Amino acid sequence: MDALPPRLTPEEEGSFQYLRIKDQTPPILTKAIDALHRHKSEFFEKHGEEGTEAEKKAISLLSKLRNELQTDKPFLPLTDNSADTDVWNQYLEYHHSLLNENNKKVSWFQSPWLYVECYMYRRIHEALMLSSPISYFDVFKESKDQNFFESLEAIKSLCNYLQELKKRIENLDENQLKDEFFKLLQIVLWGNKCDLALSPDESIPETSSPVVTLEDLQLFILVDNMDHVWSLLINRKKMRQETFPVTRVDFIMDNAGFELVADLVMADFLLASKLATEIHFHGKSIPWFVSNTIKKDMDWVIEQLKAANTKCMSDCGINWEHYLKHTWIYQDHMFWTLPHEYCTMSQVSPDLYAELQKSNLILFKGDLNYRKLVGDRKWKLTVPFHQALNGFHPAPLCSIRTVKTEALVGLAHGQGRHVAGIDPQWRTSGKFGVFQFDGSL
């Protein structure tokens, strides 16, 4: 087998990774510090002087972390005694031994970029863990909530679309059902496009419906394996009685806010259309990459929908709360917030790998999951997706991702040059998307 290409790193001054760490990462820490500061009085009311001291400690630890990053200090072992602390520290030791051979240090600008970013978010979590009794505080919650509120019109439109679709779903023929499936899959892909939080400078009318924009966005899908996903599900449905009594679909989730609502809409549709009989959601166990979904985000979104004074939204909230209690399964696992790429899952977390092997289709959402699927490496654009997975095949899987970072495979020859002619920033702009399917086991 050919040697794997090198990992993307922030070493090269001026590279996308370098600028991300240098310019975009410190403000994330600053916002986390500000969030703690804004809740100072709440901490005092709940915990008295102890709460005030904990807030100061957390801010001090995050300020120290920001300074370490800006001055390219070596990575420090974790000290918070969480369930994953030893795994993280072993990973640091492993990178020490790798980089020492090349006289490099494990630091913010000299380590693999994926590791650097994951390490920062794990250190943010450590700062809170070491600041009892406010360890429960999610420094990113306000950003996630704001994303939801700024997307309310699109959310209302999507909930309404789902409710109307479910009324006529029994009467759809196979082609009509396929058409609706493709529409909702694209909404899942363009989740980031349809809300205001990620494009605050673009004025989107309040009546804007995610469904209406889909046709214009089809040109921006670089790899479209939706047909493979459809074939898998519809064939299982047709053979449900004799051969496949169960069809399980797993969502490896990405962001909260509108994107989460789009995932829940898709899950609802899959059950209503009988394309799936079982849904599993996999979220993060700790706040992660600012907007990633944890269980509290899911519960909060459902509560917001239930309380909405628009019937289609409250109906969705009531239904989804019921599904979460009786039909849908939400799981989190330490592995999703480790720095490991997914090809190591069977060794690092064999229990999770065994669980995913029970799935009939795994949908990996978003950019970070994609980077972990293909190892965040300098792949040639034309390398097949299956090859870049490097042996990770627990079940048939599809990556649904808008392209915001440079890791990318599976394009046709010459396609990269063609797209670069349209948009020189195409690999980092978030304007392009992929549906990449791998059915091999």
> Given the structure tokens 């990556």, which residue do they identify?
399
Same domain, residue pair 110 and 165: no
- Tell me the residue length of the chain: 441
Average pLDDT over residues 390-401: 97
Q: How many Å apart are CA 311 and CA 289, to the nearest integer?
A: 33
The reported pLDDT for the residue numbered 221 is 97
Q: How many Å apart are CA 237 and CA 272, to the nearest integer?
A: 12
Burial class from Cβ neighbours inside 10 Å (0-12, 13-18, 19+) for residue 350 reads exposed
In a domain, 376, yes or no: yes
Closest C-alpha to 321, from 271, 359, 264: 264
pLDDT digits (tens, 9 = 90+) for 322-367: 999 999 999 999 999 999 999 999 999 999 999 999 999 999 999 9
The reported pLDDT for the residue numbered 47 is 97
| pTM for the model | 0.95
Pairing of strands 397-402, 433-438: antiparallel
In a domain, 29, yes or no: yes
In a domain, 131, yes or no: yes
Same domain, residue pair 131 and 173: no
Backbone CA torsion sign across 191, 306, 296, 40: positive
Task: Give, for 36, the enclosing helix (H) or strand (E).
Answer: helix 25-38
DSSP, residue by residue, 138-172: -TTHHHHHHHHHHTHHHHHHHHHHHHHHHHHGGG-
On the CB side of 31, CA atoms within 13 Å amount to: 14
How many domains is the chain built from? Answer: 2
Same domain, residue pair 356 and 413: yes
In a domain, 94, yes or no: yes
pLDDT band at 2 (very low <50, low <70, confident <90, very high): low
Same domain, residue pair 70 and 194: no
Same domain, residue pair 302 and 163: yes
Look at residue 279 and give its three-state secondary structure: strand
pLDDT band at 210 (very low <50, low <70, confident <90, very high): confident
The reported pLDDT for the residue numbered 244 is 82
Residue pair 237/172 in contact by the 8 Å Cβ criterion: no
Residue 44, domain CATH: 1.20.930.60
pLDDT at 155 over 80: yes
The angle subtended at Cα 152 by Cα 149 and Cα 154, nearest 5°, is 140
CA 314 vs. chain centroid, Å, equals 25
Residue 420, domain CATH: 3.40.50.10880
The reported pLDDT for the residue numbered 131 is 98
pLDDT band at 204 (very low <50, low <70, confident <90, very high): very low
Q: Which tokens sit at 282?
A: 């996999």
Look at residue 397 and give its three-state secondary structure: strand
pLDDT digits (tens, 9 = 90+) for 73-110: 999 999 999 999 999 999 999 988 887 766 778 999 99
Distances (CA, A) of 14 to 23, 93, 172, 295: 11, 28, 53, 37
Same domain, residue pair 22 and 166: no
Which of 109, 139, 169 is at the close of a domain? 139
Q: How many Å apart are CA 280 and CA 356, to the nearest integer?
A: 10
Q: How many Å apart are CA 430 and CA 87, to the nearest integer?
A: 32
In a domain, 419, yes or no: yes
Same domain, residue pair 153 and 131: no
Residue pair 123/74 in contact by the 8 Å Cβ criterion: no
Residue pair 396/439 in contact by the 8 Å Cβ criterion: yes
Question: Largest alpha-carbon pair distance within the chain?
Answer: 67
Residue 259 belongs to domain spanning: 148-438
Same domain, residue pair 96 and 205: no
Same domain, residue pair 116 and 202: no
pLDDT at 441 over 70: no
The reported pLDDT for the residue numbered 216 is 86
Burial class from Cβ neighbours inside 10 Å (0-12, 13-18, 19+) for residue 206 reads exposed
In a domain, 297, yes or no: yes
Q: How many Å apart are CA 439 and CA 441, to the nearest integer?
A: 7
Backbone CA torsion sign across 198, 199, 203, 204: negative
In a domain, 11, yes or no: no
pLDDT band at 192 (very low <50, low <70, confident <90, very high): low
pLDDT band at 296 (very low <50, low <70, confident <90, very high): very high
Which of 82, 117, 139 is at the close of a domain? 139
Q: How many Å apart are CA 398 and CA 229, to the nearest integer?
A: 7
Phi-psi region of 288 (alpha: psi -120 to 50; beta: other; left: phi over 0): beta
Look at residue 260 and give its three-state secondary structure: helix
pLDDT digits (tens, 9 = 90+) for 277-292: 999 999 999 999 999 9
Same domain, residue pair 326 and 410: yes
Provide the angle, in degrees to the nearest 10, between the axes of the packed helices 258-272 and 295-307. Answer: 80
In a domain, 10, yes or no: no
C-beta neighbour count of 164 within 10 angstroms: 11
Same domain, residue pair 135 and 153: no
Q: Is the peptide bond before 133 cis (omega within 30 degrees of 0)?
A: yes
pLDDT digits (tens, 9 = 90+) for 424-433: 999 998 899 9
Same domain, residue pair 296 and 399: yes
Which of 85, 106, 139 is at the close of a domain? 139
Is the model more confident about 232 or about 196? 232
The angle subtended at Cα 63 by Cα 57 and Cα 65, nearest 5°, is 105
pLDDT digits (tens, 9 = 90+) for 213-232: 888 899 999 999 999 999 99
Query: Average pLDDT of the chain?
Result: 93
The reported pLDDT for the residue numbered 193 is 52
